[in-house]
Chains A and B, each alone.
Chain A
Amino acid sequence: MGIEGIGARVARKEDKRFITGAGRYVDDMVVPGMKHAAFVRSPHAHAEIESIDVAAAKKMPGVIGVLTGKEIKADGIGNLICGWMIHSKDGTPMKMGAWSPMATDRVRFVGEAVAIVVAETKGQARDAAEAVVVNYKELPAVIDAVAALEEGAPQLHPEAEGNLIYDWEIGDAAAADKAIASAAHVTKLKLVNNRLVPNAMEPRAALGHYDKAEDHYTCWTTSQNPHVARVVMSAFYNVAPENKLRVIAPDVGGGFGSKIFIYPEEIVCLWASKKTGVPVKWVADRTESFLTDAHGRDHVTEVQMAFDADNRMTGLKVDTIANLGGYMSLFSSSVPTYLYATLLSGQYAIPAIHCNVRTAYTNTAPVDAYRGAGRPEATYVMERVVETAARELGVSPAELRRKNFITEFPYQTPVIMAYDAGDYAASLDAAMKAADYAGFEARRAEAKSRGKLRGIGMSCYIEACGIAPSQAVGSLGAGVGLWESAEVRVNMAGTIEVLTGSHSHGQGHETTFAQLVNQRFGVPIEQVSIVHGDTDKVQMGMGTYGSRSGAVGMSAIVKALDKVEAKAKKIAAHLLEADEADIVIENGELKVAGTDKTLPWFQMALAAYAAHNLPAGMEPGLKEGAFYDPSNFTFPAGCYICEVEVDPDTGTTEIVQFVAADDFGNIINPMIVEGQVHGGIAQGVGQALLEGCRYDQSGQLITASYMDYTMPRAGDLPSFTVSTSNTPCPGNPLGIKGCGEAGAIGSPPAVINAVTDAIGNNDLTMPATPLTVWAALKAATRH
């Protein structure tokens, strides 16, 4: 391990700008002549638009233009799409309702855009938006996915009869039914996975600029994948031809999935810039973010797990209804299907699995991927049911898990995934040791003496990251390939620029990617620049989500570095009059092995461009590109143990200990990896104890600000005890599995298992607020 190479805890390069206020987010961008936009949004969850009168708004001070859905339609701008095709079990394709960037005849959730106002200042734009008069005819709304599928429910889209988007299944129903029928014990649970709002601290924003002179469009946007935004906006929405559209995602203040998708606002701002002749900037306020960012989770699930007389799992049957909101967002269809049900084997050898998923339209904001995307929902099902089973069977939750762990790899589950490597018992042992699991009963007794109820809960999660071979995802319905691209440019003086299709919005790529280059060539990380997030600089990319930047993005860089290294060695061998096979690269020098003949890296680079003395026939320069398509998903896994104390008088839960033991494969920068785990745990604990997105029955979002939606604060959380083991991933050249989602996946069941253990009532829904816990405690006492 070098001091800046793989495995080193290097302080982040990008921090210098963030800690001095020099970060550049979309709202910080200023283009000459730029004006400000405000959207007119529906106050109703479900209504017909009878008329829109913009006359008064157009006369308001500072107003440059007021544009509606009819005009965007007239200009041929396309509807928003969902890019992953799912077929129902009867073979019919999913039912996609039309989603115009601005509603023309009907609105389907509170906050849906109806018109845009462009004005000199943001204040004037908002004032004028208030003056747009929209006449609505209210329609009955449905909020809950189960209710939406019932007969007589309000109908959202003519394309989707009964609000059913698809009725999909995976696995072997007959085998799972047989296992349950012949089981020695069956554990049954009904679970709700609560709807969450991602809440990246930087609100979404878009700045559209049409340059008439060049006939060229630029869009600055808060995106996790600007290249996908460009291709979708050009190929599907007809906003601009691909070659005339530049998409830039500069510093982005957190994503967590919510900034993967293409939203109406960026399309409308680009189009509005051409219509009004001025650059148009829109920045969401926090309530707009709550109303219109894609939400996460929102499942209702019934699960049955069958055991034989020896407590071995013999079958699993899962029935899930998922809420996809008023429209299908870009990846929404994949989340409750291929990102969820394919993980329902967990860490366990289960011979028969069947899962049925129905998805429904409701009058709520679109639901799509949020940190973990399907994997947290699957883990919640698995780890709640196995912990419940242990309690019913009267055995140790740890030992019941251990007994059923998969121990031989590769392992083909009955639900598509082929796990490549892992050591689940090692994570379990590490977590139990760190948590002093054996000493828990003594701590419980001590807490009791203080009048507190102490509980312990465990969760052993697995996830599928680094998504995944293009051919495989294509066969499952994905609309794009999921490779990554990289280009390595060695400059004339030896400094290096790495262009990547990954996008960093807090993950520290500028540091970790530079560490990889340092490891290979010994060039200091300060002399390595990582370029990303701009479609004019980087030709193509698939962006960052699902922990794909390391496993896929860095693998592409490795391939490009291999090519650079090969050429650099040829140049060095020629200059040093040695055999190419004898050249080694160490500490920033190219050396002839076993001799004292060396060539500094920068001299080799200079030689490549000076081109006075290159091997015969060699092309000058040193710049190589590569695309990397993974051979499989990666499978991070781990064990989380949470210990809580509940105050029986108030129902308040305090997390007194939280231990995470993860297997992420090889790690580039442990400091950054630990930070990812901390953040993930906070979001998982937030889901378990604090966060709940609530609509009232009429479809009004009643948690639409930080005064109403409980974001975890520093005082709500403990310090975490984290550790990692490193079973290398055999599927990529760096052995990386990925770490971004783990915390959010592993922690909700661990927390709920701990609280239910403390209060002696297993019937507890997330978020386990003090009131919910207090009520469950009272119910348990009554029994």
Chain B
Amino acid sequence: MSEIEMVVNGRTVTGNVEDRTLLVHFLRENLGLTGTHVGCDTSQCGACVVHLDGKAVKSCSMLAAQASGSTVVTIEGLADGADLHPVQAAFREHHGLQCGFCTPGMIMAATDMIARHPEGLDEKTVRSELEGNICRCTGYHNIVKAILAASETMSKGAARAA
């Protein structure tokens, strides 16, 4: 068993977990944060993407104990109160989801992608960088549109802030 402590969505949490517990299971089962999903068990599908110390990671690919001491943001912690994050808003506006199962992972991956490309994104880059996230519903068409639109909105927001 391992005793762990981390900051999840701004709140300090502790837990006593089996050594083999994956981060995704700690989030879902111990903390009840069921927005992070398990889709494949082989770190291929990306339904479990969260942000760990500001970077997108697959929470099925690391132990909860490894994440101890880190800051984690899940889909539940992305919005600022009632205001949707621009990526969440763009997914809704551009119909970038259908069944919604891959959506949390997609949004967390997209948010990180946009942050890593402050210069802006083009379609080819978005498609290439979505390699780690599988969607079976949308054909990616509207996901790509949503990410491009969010990137545009956020770069405008950044420009205004500057």
Give the B-binding residues of A (Cβ under 8 A).
11-12, 14-25, 27-28, 30, 121, 123, 199-203, 251-254, 256, 283, 285-287, 505-508, 671-672, 674-676, 678-683, 705-707, 711-715, 717, 719-720, 743
Residues in A whose Cβ lies below 8 Å from that of B40: 286, 705-706
15 contacts between A and B (CB under 8 A): A18-B103, A19-B84, A23-B35, A27-B28, A201-B45, A201-B136, A256-B136, A679-B98, A679-B138, A681-B139, A706-B40, A713-B130, A713-B131, A714-B127, A715-B131
Q: Closest Cβ of chain B: how far from A681's Cβ, in Å?
A: 6
Q: Closest Cβ of chain A: how far from B142's Cβ, in Å?
A: 6
A180, B40: Cα distance in complex, Å: 50
Question: Which B88-124 residues have C-beta < 8 A from chain A?
Answer: 88, 91-93, 95, 97-104, 107, 123
Q: Closest Cβ of chain B: how far from A199's Cβ, in Å?
A: 6
A251, B32: Cα distance in complex, Å: 17
Instruction: Check B91 against A15 for contact (C-beta < 8 Å).
Output: yes
Instruction: Check A286 against B100 for contact (C-beta < 8 Å).
Output: no
Stretch from B51-59, B61-69, B71-79 forming part of the interface with A: B71-79
Interface residue? B44 (CB, 8 A):
yes
A33, B56: Cα distance in complex, Å: 34
Residues in B whose Cβ lies below 8 Å from that of A287: 41
Counted as pairs of residues, one from A and one from B, with CB atoms less than 8 Å apart, the total is: 184
Instruction: Check B88 against A675 for contact (C-beta < 8 Å).
Output: no
Residue on A nearest B143 in the bound complex, by CB: A714
* A506-B98, A714-B144 given; A11·B93 CB < 8 A: yes
Residues in B whose Cβ lies below 8 Å from that of A508: 98
A283, B47: Cα distance in complex, Å: 15
Residue on A nearest B147 in the bound complex, by CB: A714
Instruction: Check A671 against B95 for contact (C-beta < 8 Å).
Output: yes
Residue on A nearest B98 in the bound complex, by CB: A506
Residues in B whose Cβ lies below 8 Å from that of A672: 95
Q: Is the interface of A mostly helix, strand, loop or mixed?
A: loop
Q: Closest Cβ of chain A: how far from B125's Cβ, in Å?
A: 10
A242, B131: Cα distance in complex, Å: 46
Interface residue? B23 (CB, 8 A):
no
A341, B75: Cα distance in complex, Å: 46
Residues in A whose Cβ lies below 8 Å from that of B139: 678-683, 712, 717, 720, 743
A675, B96: Cα distance in complex, Å: 8
Instruction: Check A21 against B34 for contact (C-beta < 8 Å).
Output: yes
Residues in B whose Cβ lies below 8 Å from that of A203: 38-39
Chain B interface size range: 35 or more
Interface residue? B13 (CB, 8 A):
no
Residue on B nearest A709 in the bound complex, by CB: B44
Q: Closest Cβ of chain A: how far from B1's Cβ, in Å?
A: 13
Q: Closest Cβ of chain B: how far from A427's Cβ, in Å?
A: 20
* A201-B101, A202-B101 given; A506·B37 CB < 8 A: no
Give the A-binding residues of B (Cβ under 8 A).
18, 20, 28, 32-42, 44-45, 47, 74-76, 78-79, 84, 88, 91-93, 95, 97-104, 107, 123, 126-128, 130-131, 133-145
Of the candidates B20, B76, B128, which one forms a contact with A21 in the assembled complex, judged by CB atoms under 8 Å apart? B76
Instruction: Check B134 against A711 for contact (C-beta < 8 Å).
Output: yes
Residues in A whose Cβ lies below 8 Å from that of B78: 20
Q: Closest Cβ of chain A: how far from B98's Cβ, in Å?
A: 4
Q: Closest Cβ of chain A: how far from B149's Cβ, in Å?
A: 13
Residues in B whose Cβ lies below 8 Å from that of A18: 97, 100, 103-104
Instruction: Check B95 against A11 for contact (C-beta < 8 Å).
Output: yes
Instruction: Check B35 against A21 for contact (C-beta < 8 Å).
Output: yes
Residues in B whose Cβ lies below 8 Å from that of A715: 127-128, 130-131
Residue on B nearest A124 in the bound complex, by CB: B18
Of the candidates A23, A506, A706, which one forms a contact with B45 in the assembled complex, judged by CB atoms under 8 Å apart? A706
A252, B136: Cα distance in complex, Å: 13
Of the candidates A11, A121, A286, A682, which one forms a contact with B140 in the assembled complex, judged by CB atoms under 8 Å apart? A682
Interface centre among A15, A21, A27, A719 (most CB of B within 10 A): A21
Q: Closest Cβ of chain B: how far from A515's Cβ, in Å?
A: 14
Q: A254-B99, A683-B136 are in contact. List 20 more A-B contacts (CB 8 A).
A: A11-B95, A19-B84, A19-B107, A21-B76, A123-B20, A201-B137, A253-B99, A256-B136, A283-B38, A286-B40, A506-B100, A507-B98, A678-B141, A679-B136, A705-B40, A706-B44, A707-B42, A707-B44, A715-B130, A717-B127
Residues in B whose Cβ lies below 8 Å from that of A23: 35, 100-101, 103
A286, B43: Cα distance in complex, Å: 11
Instruction: Check A202 against B130 for contact (C-beta < 8 Å).
Output: no
Q: Closest Cβ of chain B: how far from A382's Cβ, in Å?
A: 24
Residues in A whose Cβ lies below 8 Å from that of B47: 201
Residues in B whose Cβ lies below 8 Å from that of A28: 28, 34
Residues in A whose Cβ lies below 8 Å from that of B79: 20
Interface centre among B92, B126, B144 (most CB of A within 10 A): B92
Residues in B whose Cβ lies below 8 Å from that of A25: 34, 37, 101
Of the candidates B76, B128, B140, which one forms a contact with A717 in the assembled complex, judged by CB atoms under 8 Å apart? B140
Q: Closest Cβ of chain A: how far from B19's Cβ, in Å?
A: 11
Residue on B nearest A255 in the bound complex, by CB: B99
Q: Closest Cβ of chain A: how far from B129's Cβ, in Å?
A: 8
Closest 5 CB pairs of A and B: A21-B35, A253-B101, A18-B100, A506-B99, A682-B139
Instruction: Check B136 against A254 for contact (C-beta < 8 Å).
Output: yes
A743, B32: Cα distance in complex, Å: 37
